Amino acid sequence: MTDRQPSAKDLAQATPLAMKNPYILNFCKVLVEKKGEKHTPAALKKLLDDMYRLFENLLGQNMVKALPEDKRKEYLQLCDDLNQISYEKIAEIFDKHVPNYREIMKKTMIQFTELFMKNRGFNPEQIKKEFASMND
């Protein structure tokens, strides 16, 4: 990575982060279908975008937690100065120090599913019943 600051043109052309992983996107679609929610195409697109961002964030947190303490500190220090970080450096840290990434992905999918199924589309009557049963 170079020491120069990226130009506006560089930033405008930086599209890899705009691409979505089709497997994660499909996972989000299946959750919405499984939940039985009906949305207009525009609302569904926004929901899927929000779900995707949330999933990526949760996965990122879980991956960072899986790093050994010294490597986690190293990675977080790199993130303080985004000019010194690169995809190669990220891959070097995570590939070498998180060998069970598939397990982390699986656990994140389970965690995300539980959160989504529990927190989307609450029925006020259902909330009252759950609250009442907690106080019994």
pLDDT in tens, 10-50: 444 444 456 889 999 999 999 999 988 888 999 899 989 99
Establish if 14 belongs to a structural domain.
no
Establish if 80 belongs to a structural domain.
no
Q: How confident is the model at residue 134 (pLDDT cuts 50, 70, 90)?
A: low
Establish if 1 belongs to a structural domain.
no
Establish if 39 belongs to a structural domain.
yes
The closest alpha carbon to 122, from 34, 27, 35, belongs to: 35
DSSP string, 38-105: ---HHHHHHHHHHHHHHHHHHHHHHHHHHS-HHHHHHHHHHHHSGGG--HHHHHHHHHHH-TTHHHHH
Establish if 73 belongs to a structural domain.
no
Establish if 85 belongs to a structural domain.
no
- On the question of pLDDT at 54 being above 80, the answer is yes
Establish if 54 belongs to a structural domain.
yes
Query: Tokens at residue 9, please?
Result: 């043109």
Establish if 37 belongs to a structural domain.
yes
| 57-110: pLDDT as tens digits | 999 999 999 999 999 998 998 888 878 788 888 888 999 999 899 999 999 999
Q: How many domains does the chain have?
A: 1
